Structure 1
Amino acid sequence: MGKICWDFPLLGTGNESGNNIAAITMFKGSGVMDGLAREICQNSLDAKDSSLPSDNPVKVKFELIDVKKSDYPMFKSYEEAVDRSIEYWDNSPLCTPSIKDFLSNIKSALDSETIPMLVMSDYNTVGLNGVNASPHEQSFWNLLVNTEGISIKQNDNSAGSFGIGKNAPFAYSALNLVFYNTLAKDGGRAFEGVTRLVTTQKEYNGTMRPTQPIGKYLYLIDDYTGRPILPSDDCPIAQMGVFNRTEIGTDVAVVGFKKSDYTDWERLTAVAIIKNFVLAIINGQLTVTVKSPKIEYVIDSERLEQLLFIEFGDEPQLKYTRQTYETIANGELIKTKIAEKDDLSIYVKYDEKYSASLSRFRSTGMLINTTTNDVLPHFSVVIIVNDVGEMRLSKTLRSAEPPQHTEWRAKNITDNLTLKNRAGRYIRKIGKEIQSVLDDFDRADITDKMDAGIGNYLPDASDSSGTTEGTDGLKTDVKIKEIKSYDGRVFYNSQYESAESASGAETQQSGVKTGKKKRKKRSKSKIPVVNPGGKSQGVSTGNGKVKIVSPKIVEHRTFYLAGNKYRCFINSPDDYEKVFIQYFAGRDDDKQDSLVVKNLKLEGSPRIEINSEKIGPISLKKGINTLYVEFSNNEIMAVVPVFTMEVSNEKQSN
């Protein structure tokens, strides 16, 4: 005759285990509910019942309840297992302070009269089929409850690929204990508890023997065989009202929820769900209720705008989510092909109040990541990988995600070189498509306002090195210690006062700054000064004196776009005429090379050919001036502009 109990299989010749479980640690983070919210809602979206009408959303409920410990014998037997583990490690030379603290914290959490339990339940899903599967049948119940490192999803849209995400709930339990309960579409019903302790011990044939760290609360048939707890079994904890399902779906319960670490868990959970699933909510794919005895949030497409802009209007975590919402609702949509027709959707919106952001989404509506930079306004870009045709793009990118599903990076694929190369190729192509969309964006409406693009947020579209790597992360800025000018002064980042003095210094050579002779790149013939306005040939040499000064430029920044293209922003404190600009690239030997400008586009003017080391004379208006510069050098450079200005032309008599 079997019994309901905690079972820890004998360790035998297996390895002893401490408390450093990487698969759980990666989801820990006090005060942040993202790991739990992402895992639960992602799994529920993956398990949606496809036979239901498309306008039926997956419904998920997060509810915190208090469980009276004395009403359920399961807690007493669990405490006995913890005590045996403490005794085992007290007598082990391998015991560490970390293991002692780990067990002590669990023991303390069990001292309470009531145990907080966060129950997460989904509906309009298929539940966990296979509760009663034969040994040779696929069982999704077993995949969740009884396997490690195996991921077989119930449909092709599923996001998981490692079988590691199931560990997320344990990171939020002070007892390292989780309950699973399901009413599946195939009619199966089941309940089971799982704990991840450290190596413990139990009596076997009259002797205390070490056991494996993972224990199950189940129906134990014999020493080697067990099954889930069924409705017909007499199990008080499994018969709690919260687990008495009448609708198909799954419950995951974090037992001993860390309320002290997540004192405002309702708000944190609601914010995490909105941030990570805003697209699914907009599209009516997901509805979530967050409930506790003191408050309730209902998150759906009808309430989303109110939550984003009023209820959580001051929530900094949702800053870019608000941009994403507006971009999807009011931005320009472009569909393009990466591997198959219309497999990528790109939304673009410009707004002066925006900080530049690029958000990436799976077709299920789950956010992969958002790369941002507050220094570079004002574009919001949203890309969505669509499941079309053979789903080559979405399947490839799913393989390029880490266990937390927070990026697309080819190097995450370590066991399939062909797939890794394909992922790198797709990721680079996505970057090129985004840049192309922004290049073609209606500049006529925004050029007078725009002061940044998205180039810094994309993989280098010009990369033709044949590398298999691809990254969707924010482009790393070019790192430079310092750049010294040819007369010995130092350029610090983008701040450079180019004049020797504010009043200027005279020289007999037109358009040339005083100081030591600068190092130029070799050229077969002298490259003339070119005037982008087309009305003058620039400053000419002669017998007269020309005073050259520096305009008092408050700030200027030059950003790499792609290939040999850069965008320069000049914040001028006043209107200036006859300004000349020369660009220098820093070198490893602390010297600079003067750069040849192929062409230039002034804000509000057509692009013109330059082919010169010096641009000018041009006019700068007060405020932000935007220049699009293309150099002859096709490489990423630390580029520094030098500004000079002609303020007089005093001709001498012969």
Structure 2
Amino acid sequence: MAFWNFPVVIGGNINSINNAGLETFRDDPIDSLTREICQNSLDAVEDESKPVIVEFKKFTSNVFPGKDELRNNFERAKMTWEGKNKKSTEFIESALNILSERNMQWLRISDFNTRGLEGARAGEIGSPWSALVREAGSSNKNDSSGGSFGIGKAAPFLSSGLRTIFYSSLDRTGYRSYIGVSDIMSFQKDGGGMTVGKGYYTDGEDSRAIPDSLKLDSGFEREEAGTDIFISAFIDIYDLEKKILHSILHNFFLTVYYQKLIVRVGDSEINHKNINELIKKLEEDSKENKDLKNFFNLLSSENTLRIEYPSKRYDQGRIEFKDGEAVFLLMEGEDFNRKVLMTRKTGMKIFEQGHISGNITFTGMLMIQGENMNRIFKEMENPAHNKWVPSRYEENPKIAEQIFKDLRKFMRDTVKESFSPPISDQMNAFGLSDFIPDKRNLNQGDEQLVESLDSVVTKIEMKKKNRKAASTIFEDERESENEASIDRGENALGDGERGGFGEEEAGEGDSSNNGTQLPEGEVGVDPNSDGNVDISESRRKRKLVANKCRYISLNQKEGLYRFSVVLDKAFEKGTIEFKQIGEQNIVKLPIENVAFDQQDIKIEKINNNEVVFLNGKKVQKLSFLLKIKYSNLCAMEVQVYENS
């Protein structure tokens, strides 16, 4: 006869309701549940030529094996912990309330085209059944599997109001079995002795599986090999179906696309035929959804580059990766996230690798497929399966660090080689000489170059200090506090800071502008000036917009540059103003021609050092080629204005 068996420990640990394994998944229980369940089912696939099917279904039932006996055990736990541990007593009270109800909500999770829980008949240590049900922190999976810690099996308990679940299985030999597991807290038994806190619904003191099928969901009957997990007192959440589907799309889209996984949630199904449409329908109200669409597009776009990871040898040949053990999918495009989605053989998303390139907008996916490479990175993986940590590779952490470092370098180099524009005259890192203009060239053949710091001061007055954000300063609405403001008429410079040239590759510039401070030094005042300066109405109405700008020289002699300008806000019409930065002055930089990469951006006019453009779709990243009337390398400043 079946009963709840809570083994007693003498002189061992006394466990409260807190559980380290559960805490790993507490941040997002449903996402963790979905990831761990699907990963475990994929690891147990029977026929690899067919997809694994995972099914989630809620139901209500008044059937609960050993319900009265479990309630009595919770009463004993209450007497043990009352007044000693607030969190434990609160959980016990909640559990007793649940068990007093006639009906209970359950979540059934079933998989198909899997081997079932092999080893349930004998209960041998190391068998799949024992590793899941009886062993703690144990995993006997192969090197290509998703899990390796044996901690993921804790995820379903977090969704149970009783911390109690039932496993039912039909393995591939035809053996049927089931067992209940209640992972609560230690408590004093009536006959004396303290339990370990974990109990089993079994038919023997050795806590073996019961040789029969468990029928809790009246509408379900298992007829093929696989495993059913029944989560009792399922803690329902709003939009459960939507959250599970969201987790599948974001974590297993690769697995579904390659026909390795089908997921059914209630009346919905995700398969390789409809995943494209499901991802397309996702709202683009979050960066996460936008990135998913770009990642998924890598799988089918004709613009995707596919690069195989080259062979590698480490530790005097003890570790060897063959050519193509990893594949790098790569694509360049506007507004991409500059990240690489990292996966292993199961196809589940591990994490997104950043810090690949600061000036190339791309998206990528790295798929580790080879056995040797998969084994090494599996051992680096943390229990939550969302990070690779070289120190976890116990055999040789330094080698693991080098392996991971080489992989990141491969991705950086590949992105740079694939998408960086050809450079005929590459700039050195900007030094002092690059900031000093050649005055002989500036004074010859181009009278349009004008000193930006006039020697004429139109007026000097006291104003209140500016308290507006730099990105929203109007040129005709500057306020200063106890500060002399020098109005320089048409050549007036906006308030704010000039960005420097940061950590960029040779030949690149980087400028974050919220305006420009006046250079240090004395300013001469012309006593003969009448102070009258003509300021056009259109310039009065312009609004300075903060931007981040990068550029690279394509051809020095031709004055050809490629620019990428990211705006803090989007608008329909604007002006880009270009200036050359010298050691002692800033001068207007006359423009010969401009060509935007985006077809939706139209040039209204080019006026000296300014480009007036129309931006109907309000694009925030501007990419364009610029040709200037100046043949020497120079440091440039870019200011962008919104035209009202």
- TM-score, normalising length: structure 2: 0.66
Match for 1:227 among 200, 203, 208? 208
Match for 1:322 among 276, 285, 293? 293
Corresponding residue for 2:448?
Answer: none
Corresponding residue for 2:134?
Answer: 146
Moved more, 73-82 or 394-403: 394-403
Corresponding residue for 2:202?
Answer: 218
Corresponding residue for 1:263?
Answer: 238
Corresponding residue for 1:450?
Answer: none
Q: Is the 8 A contact 2:471 2:545 kept in 1?
A: no
Cα separation, 2, equivalents of 1:280 and 1:569: 37
Residue identity matched to 2:23 = T
Counterparts in 2 of 1:577 and 1:138: CA distance versus 1, 3 Å: closer
Deviation string 1:335-357 (CA, Å, 9 cap, x unpaired) is 22154312332333455575555
Unaligned segments of structure 2, at least 5 residues = 313-321, 424-464, 476-484, 502-525, 527-532, 553-561, 586-592, 597-607, 616-620, 627-634
Match for 2:309 among 306, 318, 337? 337
Corresponding residue for 1:474?
Answer: none
Residue identity matched to 1:383 = M
Corresponding residue for 2:348?
Answer: 366
User: Helix, strand or coil: the match of 2:161?
Assistant: strand
Deviation at 1:505, TM superposition (A): 6.3
Q: Is the 8 A contact 1:346 1:381 kept in 2?
A: no
Corresponding residue for 1:167?
Answer: 154
Q: Is the 8 A contact 1:28 1:171 kept in 2?
A: yes
Q: Is the 8 A contact 2:340 2:366 kept in 1?
A: no
- Are 1:285 and 2:260 matched, yes or no? yes
Deviation at 1:379, TM superposition (A): 4.8
Residue identity matched to 1:274 = L
Q: Is the 8 A contact 1:579 1:643 kept in 2?
A: yes
Match for 2:56 among 48, 62, 65? 62
Q: Is the 8 A contact 1:344 1:385 kept in 2?
A: yes
User: Helix, strand or coil: the match of 1:269?
Assistant: helix
Corresponding residue for 1:398?
Answer: 378
Deviation string 1:550-569 (CA, Å, 9 cap, x unpaired) is 997522215799xxxx9852
User: Helix, strand or coil: the match of 1:118?
Assistant: strand
User: RMSD of the alignment, in Å?
Assistant: 4.7
- Are 1:305 and 2:292 matched, yes or no? no
Corresponding residue for 1:531?
Answer: none
Cα separation, 1, equivalents of 2:328 and 2:306: 5
Match for 2:74 among 82, 91, 113? 82
Residue identity matched to 2:200 = K
Deviation string 1:50-76 (CA, Å, 9 cap, x unpaired) is xx362x11111111121214xx45111
Cα separation, 1, equivalents of 2:232 and 2:494: 75
- Are 1:125 and 2:114 matched, yes or no? yes
User: Helix, strand or coil: the match of 1:33?
Assistant: helix
Counterparts in 2 of 1:504 and 1:64: CA distance versus 1, 3 Å: same
Cα separation, 2, equivalents of 1:267 and 1:117: 18
- Are 1:42 and 2:19 matched, yes or no? no
- Are 1:254 and 2:251 matched, yes or no? no
Moved more, 423-432 or 163-172: 423-432
Cα separation, 1, equivalents of 2:197 and 2:421: 57
Residue identity matched to 1:265 = L
Counterparts in 2 of 1:440 and 1:348: CA distance versus 1, 3 Å: same
Cα separation, 2, equivalents of 1:96 and 1:6: 24
Corresponding residue for 2:171?
Answer: 184
Deviation string 1:482-521 (CA, Å, 9 cap, x unpaired) is xxxxxx9999999999996562669xxxxxx999xx9x99
Q: Is the 8 A contact 1:64 1:118 kept in 2?
A: yes
Cα separation, 2, equivalents of 1:348 and 1:514: 40
Residue identity matched to 1:503 = G
Counterparts in 2 of 1:505 and 1:297: CA distance versus 1, 3 Å: closer
User: Helix, strand or coil: the match of 1:198?
Assistant: coil
Q: Is the 8 A contact 1:194 1:215 kept in 2?
A: yes
Deviation at 1:438, TM superposition (A): 5.0
Corresponding residue for 1:613?
Answer: none
Q: Is the 8 A contact 1:4 1:220 kept in 2?
A: yes
Cα separation, 2, equivalents of 1:188 and 1:432: 52
Deviation at 1:442, TM superposition (A): 10
